[in-house]
A and B are shown apart, each in its own frame.
Chain A
Amino acid sequence: MSKIIEVKDLCKTYVVEKRQVNVLKNLNFTVEEGEMLAVMGPSGSGKSTLLYSVSGMDKPTGGSVVFDGTELTDLSQAKMADFRLDSMGFIFQQMYMMKNLSVLDNILLPSAESKKEKISRKEKQLRAEALMRRLGIIEIADNDINEVSGGQLQRACIARSMINNPKVLFADEPTGALNRASSDEVMDELVKLNADGTTIIMVTHDSKVAARCSRVIYLEDGCIRGEFVNDCTEARERERKLASWLMDRGW
């Protein structure tokens, strides 16, 4: 497996009322292609900031992020937008969608904007429908976003994130706003996507969710306090081992 993301000396500092707050402090880690990485840590530890800095949504204060051989910190805003459109997918805790579009059109929108593949709008729609079928939400294709449940909407967000065949899928608390059943459904889908070769980096508070990832990074005060590689195959055992590891770190 090759490295898809390489983070070196990553720093992020915010200035709050003339006071500097160092949210990320010289972080170094790599993500392998096909890996499913969970970022955990207490509130305010810098998890989301790390995700946004690595995905180019936020500009780091220092350090470098190399994504599939491209240094992201050097890219212009426009180039970075193209990169996000064609090579990255995003899922958020809040299921933000365009209010005036149907669920299918919301999924199709990034594909319509992308010029990566020279295929017709019709073919793109067929791909969106295939994704929806795969995620079990094809029946809500023409629905308004207000007419569907949170779980269905989050699966629609996953479909949207996958529409341009991204190399990496970034997820910020993807199950944070869902009940356990919906959360499990969404995680099942993410695991399936990962099994199909999509690299996933996910921020989560939920150890049960993190237990389904192959590796966990634990973040505290902007520093990586430990890494946990979960090599167990049995689900309960994975959860137990991770819980024990997290407890050791004061979780």
Chain B
Amino acid sequence: MILRILKKDLKRKKGMNLILLLFVILVTVFTAAGINNTLTVLNGVEHFMDVSGFSDMVALSLGGDVTEDELKQTLDEIPEIKSCKIEKTYMVSGVETENGDEKFSSIASEIQSLSMCKIKLFNNENKEVSAPDEGGIKLAYSLYEEWGLEEGSTVTVKLAGKSYEFRVDGWFKDVVFGSPFMGIDRFLLNQRDMEMILNDGEIADKPGYCVFIETDDSREVQARIIEKLPNMTTVTRSTLEMCFIMDILIALVVLIASVCLMAVSFIILRFSIGLTVSEEYHEIGVMKAIGIPDRRIRLIYLIKYAGIAILGCFAGFFISFPMTELMLSSATKNMVLESENPVLLSLISACLVAVMIVVFAWSGTAKVKKATPIDAIRNGQTGERFKKKSLMHLGKSCRDSASFLALNDIFSSPKRFLTVLISFSLCTLIVLVLVITCDTLDGDGIINLITAEHDIYSGYFGENGLDELIVSGNNFKTYIDDTQKELDTLGFPAKVTCDIMFSFPYSYDGVRQNSYFLYGLGCKVSDYQYRRGTAPQNAGEVAITEVKAKEIGADIGDTITVHFSSGDKNYIISGTFDILINLGNCLRFHEDETAVLNEPCYGCLAAGMDFTDNPDGETVEARKKQLREHWDTEDVYSAAELIGSQIGSVIEPLSSVRDLLLMITFAVIILVTLLMEKAFISNEKSQIAILKAVGFRNGRIILWHSLRFIFVSAVSAILAAVLSLPLTKLCITPVFAMMGASGVRFTVDGISIFIIYPLIILAATCTVAFLASLGTGSITARDTASNE
């Protein structure tokens, strides 16, 4: 008997059951992908370091300043070092791509063969990378992407006055130098090519070293190495984790999206099960009337939903694997992000979904107990249930009847439409949060987290580059004067400033460390943004980044000692700031502290140029292009371009995640609309028939049904647009804070957020709602006679 009823149900409600099945598949896929992504992302960098064979810290000496003997002796004298692996590497003086662009965005570039490498590098399939073919070169993905290279492109490596041309033979994932934040590029050559270069030039005499150290006390080892070999730089595991923050940012966005999609799917599933069961009042009433007990009736529905759940979860289990991979691979190509137990996690997720569905079905069928045989007779109304009065009145409304009916339905069944509203809003929100994040990273909103705001920025420092200038900070004064004169001659009067970077050892609380210090030449220290306290007020004060302050345990009012070559000097910390370079590890001098200019510099971030004749945006853009031509370089940037060059290429993967989620949002909206409309049509058959009988045209009925979704979709689009910025702040600010920057000013492109994306989603809803509402066409006025 039960099987016969079930068979009839499956035959009669093919459409509804099919959509429900699709939803179960969707929920399973999102749940499995979401759980897999969450665990993978949360352990992402740790996993990457573990599979790469990176232990606790790395000490770097790339410039040939340290000999192998000195290094080994120092390492031997540090008892805290459990074990270490020394990797040889060779610095190159420059790298050019085939269009002749000199690439200097990194602090250093090094070459080596794969056999010299002491950690594992991975290819795009997360397998260990193979050595390049003879004449080939491989490089990290971030660089490959940033330079716009393809396999077969040509790269020229310059070293010891000679140039060697190589063919790009692919890219790899590198835990140590793979992130643009590290500022060092690794190039892999074929063993023979490497030997040829070593035999060919003098570089063989000046190798650099990367030492991978295993220790329980990184801080002590760090201090001891710097004490004995001040030119070495050390990077701990926790600092290295920070280097991949941009990749983690994208992966976290994917994670947030997965969680939202899981939430949407469960909301809809719970609702649709409740709705389909409540629709069965007639059958339930009849079954009760003929004496079938509640338990048996509930069993019928449980068997049905359990069947759908098992089928859907089974399919969803298999589809979740490519989905997880797709979401993770679109998130990052820079890291080895892979789930450790994807099968087990997907299996657990699928079982969880199946159990949830059965629980939903059980709670949904609780209504069976309330249903009486009278329901079968009175179309689900016992005559004793009273609804609240309508909120809207047709007589008082100036709307046409279709839009009135649509609005009235929404207000009369708020719970039903709230489900749609929440689902649509969440889906739209996910997309908008990503749009804002992309726009922020792509625009000039975070320039204050790198340097002060200027009209344009230049990375061109004359024909001889930075090498000549960095000998002494005072050289930059000449550079500024010369550049200002040159700009005057070109008819672009401008004030030029330089963010000069120094590297000095300093002590706080008895611990000596190296750190980068910034000095803004040609501008005031108060031109930069500060998070707490104030800008340094005199030459005896410095500002410190929040990250650095936390790392050394210092705060505003504390004193640090900087060890210059000329002697030590104490500085009081006046305030804290955020910066997106050097992983947020920096200090900033007051402009009056001119003594530092006598010291050799580490580099210069970029020269800022502010045109004094107040040109408009178009003129500034035109001048930027003219200067590029004039200096024959691409290194003249707008604020957005400078940001891109400093924090790496995250826009593209983030945009692909955004597009992927837009597609998923469409899929969810299509399924939600189809499922709901199908349920509505089945539920409102008698009302549709009566409207047709009294003379409503088909088109008007379709309009009535479509408008309900369109209104809800419009409200959800507005809601999502309004909530997008607060939610972005809530979700993304902590990620920026992890990078050392909390005061991010998010860029909200009003046209994208309030018009383009909401309209795209609204258009998708309108189309699907219209197509789904065409189903009302099959109900005719004649059905008033056949309705039960």
What is the interface of chain A, defined by CB distance below 8 A to chain B? Answer: 48, 52, 57-58, 77-78, 81-86, 88, 90, 92, 94, 96-102, 104-105, 108-110, 112-114, 121-122, 124-125, 128, 142, 144, 146-147, 160-161, 172
Contact = CB atoms under 8 A, between A and B. Distances in A.
A93 to B, nearest CB: 9
Contacts of A90: 693-694, 784
B400 interface: yes
B687 A99 contact: yes
Interface of B: 379, 381, 383, 385-390, 393-398, 400-401, 404-405, 408-409, 412-413, 686-687, 689-700, 780-782, 784-785, 787
Contact of A84 (B398, B413, B781): B781
17 contacts: A57-B693, A57-B782, A58-B782, A78-B699, A81-B696, A90-B784, A97-B687, A98-B405, A101-B405, A101-B408, A105-B393, A108-B394, A109-B691, A109-B694, A113-B400, A121-B396, A146-B387
Contacts of B700: 113
Chain A binding surface SS class: helix
A154 B694 CA distance: 15
B390 A96 contact: no
Contacts, number: 126
Contacts of B385: 146
Nearest to B409: A100
A140 B784 CA distance: 24
Contact of A144 (B390, B398, B409): B390
Given A57-B781, A101-B390, A102-B389, A121 B695 contact: no
Contacts of B686: 94, 96
Contact of A92 (B381, B409, B412, B784): B784
A96 B784 contact: yes
A78 B383 CA distance: 36
A198 B602 CA distance: 100
Contact of B692 (A48, A81, A146): A81
A146 B383 contact: yes
B390 A102 contact: yes
A58 B330 CA distance: 56
A113 B785 contact: no
B389 A52 contact: no
Contacts of B698: 77-78, 81
Contact of B785 (A52, A84, A99, A102): A52
Contacts of A128: 395
A57 B698 CA distance: 13
A114 B694 CA distance: 10
A82 B413 CA distance: 30
A43 to B, nearest CB: 13
B403 to A, nearest CB: 11
A211 B683 CA distance: 38
Contacts of B386: 144, 146-147
B676 to A, nearest CB: 16
A125 to B, nearest CB: 3
A125 B699 CA distance: 25
A149 B22 CA distance: 43
A156 to B, nearest CB: 12
A52 B782 contact: yes
Nearest to A163: B694
Given A58-B780, A100-B408, 19 more contacts: A78-B697, A78-B699, A81-B692, A81-B695, A81-B696, A96-B689, A100-B390, A102-B389, A104-B393, A109-B401, A110-B694, A121-B395, A142-B389, A144-B387, A144-B389, A146-B383, A146-B385, A146-B386, A172-B784
A161 B694 CA distance: 8
B694 A97 contact: no
B694 A160 contact: yes
Contacts of B393: 102, 104-105
B695 A113 contact: yes
Contacts of A57: 692-693, 780-782, 784
Contact of A97 (B389, B394, B690, B785): B690
Contact of B381 (A83, A84, A101, A146): A146
Most chain B CB atoms below 10 A, which of A104, A146, A160: A146
Contacts of A81: 692, 695-698
A125 B397 CA distance: 11
Contacts of A109: 394, 401, 405, 691, 694
A110 B404 CA distance: 13
Contacts of B394: 101, 104-105, 108-109, 112, 121, 125
Contacts of A92: 690, 693, 784-785
Given A57-B781, A100-B390, A109-B394, A83 B695 contact: yes
Given A99-B687, A108-B394, A84 B695 contact: yes
Nearest to B786: A48
Contacts of A160: 694
Nearest to B388: A144
A85 B398 CA distance: 20
B212 to A, nearest CB: 70
Count chain A CB atoms within 10 A of each CB in B390, B401, B690, B694 and give the residue with the most.
B694
B383 to A, nearest CB: 7
B711 to A, nearest CB: 14
B390 A85 contact: no
A209 to B, nearest CB: 18
B785 A121 contact: no
A48 to B, nearest CB: 6
Given A96-B787, A101-B408, A125-B395, A114 B389 contact: no
Contacts of A125: 394-395
Given A57-B782, A94-B787, A85 B387 contact: no
Contacts of B413: 100
A122 B398 CA distance: 9
A83 B696 CA distance: 10
Contacts of A94: 379, 686, 784, 787
A94 B381 CA distance: 13
Contact of A113 (B395, B401, B408, B782): B401
A31 to B, nearest CB: 19
B397 A121 contact: yes
B281 to A, nearest CB: 13
A223 B42 CA distance: 79
Contact of B395 (A84, A96, A108): A108
B110 to A, nearest CB: 72
A128 B394 CA distance: 11
Nearest to A77: B698
Contacts of B381: 146
A142 B388 CA distance: 11
Contacts of B387: 144, 146
A82 B697 contact: yes
The 6 closest A-B pairs by CB, nearest first: A85-B695, A125-B395, A100-B412, A84-B695, A57-B781, A96-B690
A189 B398 CA distance: 31
Residue picked from B385, B413, B696, most chain A C-beta under 10 Å: B696
B279 to A, nearest CB: 14
A109 B385 CA distance: 24
Nearest to B402: A113
Contacts of B699: 78
A106 B364 CA distance: 31
Contacts of B695: 81-86, 88, 110, 113-114
A83 B385 CA distance: 37
Contacts of B784: 57, 90, 92, 94, 96, 172
Contacts of A48: 785
A85 to B, nearest CB: 2
B418 to A, nearest CB: 15
A119 to B, nearest CB: 13
A28 to B, nearest CB: 23
A100 to B, nearest CB: 4
A75 to B, nearest CB: 12
Contacts of B408: 100-101, 105
